[in-house]
Amino acid sequence: MDRRNAHPRLLMSSQQQLRVLVDQLQREANIERMNTSEAINQLKRYITEHEAEDYLLVGFSSQKANPFREKSSCTVL
């Protein structure tokens, strides 16, 4: 193992590792959480507000806007 590149966890005792883990978990435990009702409503709102631009949902407004359309041949007049 190249100590210069080793993951720091591998250089700690298991007790030290546990301490790091506990500290991190306590940090994560203390974050502010929103109610799911509020959070899901915001997701819903974002999605419905952007649905008109979602090509996989509504397709292309005109065939001209569709880069995958079959190109029709041109005639020289």
Residues that bind other proteins (CB under 8 A): 1-2, 4-9, 14-15, 18-19, 21-22, 24-29, 31, 33-44, 46-51, 53-57, 59-60, 66-68
Helix, coil or strand: residue 10: helix
Minimal distance, residue 77 CB to other proteins, in Å = 26
Q: Which is nearer to other proteins, 10 or 77 (CB)?
A: 10
**3-state DSSP percent of the chain in helix, strand and coil, to 5:** 60, 0, 40
> Would you say 51 and 58 are in contact if contact means Cβ atoms under 8 Å apart?
yes
Distance CA 47, CA 34 (A): 19
Minimal distance, residue 17 CB to other proteins, in Å = 9
Minimal distance, residue 36 CB to other proteins, in Å = 5
